[in-house]
A and B are shown apart, each in its own frame.
Chain A
């Protein structure tokens, strides 16, 4: 059976900070209450990526947390992850669906309402919409969207909308009010002094 889309996605990143490995961030985020971990690293070879993904998969599944792999359906298949997250420059959603099957999760990135509708139409299980606020991580595609377009997307789509981009405990209120299903963060957790505590605070703010 296909799992439900999580509400607090922590995307591991070794580039916005150098203190923690992917695995360590996942561990701290899980301890802080994240229900989904997304592994994203476009700079390492497939061998190293699979090695990390494999370790992360055991860690997540032991804790009942979902593991989503960015960009790589083959890596997701190799380690038995719960799904893939696909950006606009990644393999098309229907192609990934044919590869990983109906019981896995597929998320698709969108930065406009049009893209969000297209992601939904192509069969994604959730849309990652953003970026909402200014951010230094690599997810950005143009200027910040703000919560206005986010609200329109939440109203127009029937699949869960996960907001991404510069979301912190302090600015989460308007995001939640816009009607999102969940949020995804990179820097707010990975670059935090205490990633576990930061995750817990985000979780509290989300509820």
Chain B
């Protein structure tokens, strides 16, 4: 079910047009997009999600919606991602059923184990490196901590937080199935090259 190693998490404020950035990313081989635009009201988020769904469907990429089970359901996204203080994964599963992809963010070994027990399909664990977007979640966790989480849970773990192509290889060595990135792809002026660098480091997308 998890057929991706890189999940691109969106932040439309980093790019001129999220639609064209998503299109370039999918053309460059990205197989999973998580739409995360928390500051948008529901009407605008719905409209943007519809556009992004069209693009991901065209390219056969998965679309996962951050926190909003209703919007994921209405637009037939592949699943939802549950932040630690967001929609509880077990409740999302009840609503969306067994076919949906459900991911959860966790920032400690305890919360990783709890999330895995809640029948989620994959975890985001971090921040593994210092990054402004994840500063609210405390100082970076260590590679040892990442390794411990990956060893303890049976579901795929994606490292998040300040991950670059070079660092992504280190995350995989420590047991991560892949990485989740925002600014490493979206903040630069060449999305295609950034993705290519991740592809080489990860040995696939």
Residue of A whose beta carbon sits closest to that of B85: A45
Do A90 and B42 have beta carbons less than 8 Å apart? yes
Q: Which of A71, A89, A92, A99 meets B73, CB within 8 Å?
A: A99
- A48 touching B85 by the CB < 8 A rule? yes
Decide: B95 and A91 in contact? CB cutoff 8 A.
no
Residues of B within 8 A of A74 (CB): 68-71, 73, 87, 95
A141 interface contact, C-beta 8 A: no
Within 8 A of A (CB), among B55-70: 67-70
Docked pose: A93 CA to B74 CA in angstroms: 12
A-B contact count, CB below 8 Å?
59
Residues from 40 to 92 in A contacting B, C-beta threshold 8 Å: 45-48, 50, 71-74, 77-78, 88-92
Chain A interface residue number, banded? 20 to 34
- Taking a contact as CB atoms closer than 8 A, the residue among A45, A50, A73 that contacts B83 in the complex is A45
For the complex, give the distance between the alpha carbons of A88 and B42 in Å: 10
A95 within 8 A of B: yes
Q: Which of B73-104 contact A (CB under 8 A)?
A: 73-74, 83-88, 91, 94-95
| Partner of B42 from A46, A47, A48, A71 at Cβ < 8 Å | A71
Q: Output the nearest chain A residue to B71 by Cβ-Cβ distance.
A: A91
The answer to whether B43 and A91 touch across the interface, beta carbons within 8 angstroms, is: yes
Nearest B residue to A47 via CB reads: B85
Q: Residues of A contacting B70 with CB < 8 Å?
A: 72-74, 77, 91, 96, 99
Contact across chains for A99 and B74 when beta carbons are under 8 A apart: yes
Residue among A74, A78, A96 with the highest chain B CB neighbour number at 10 A: A74
Contact B46 A47 (CB under 8 A): no
Asked whether B54 is an interface residue with its Cβ less than 8 Å from the other chain, the reply is: no
Chain A residues near B83 (CB, 8 Å)? 45
A1 interfacial contact with B, CB 8 Å: no
B69: A residues at CB distance < 8 A = 74, 77-78
13 residue pairs from A and B, CB less than 8 Å apart: A45-B85, A46-B86, A46-B88, A48-B85, A50-B91, A71-B42, A72-B70, A74-B71, A78-B69, A78-B87, A90-B42, A91-B46, A91-B74
Residues of B within 8 A of A (CB): 41-44, 46, 67-71, 73-74, 83-88, 91, 94-95
Give A contacts to B, CB under 8 Å. 45-48, 50, 71-74, 77-78, 88-92, 95-96, 98-99
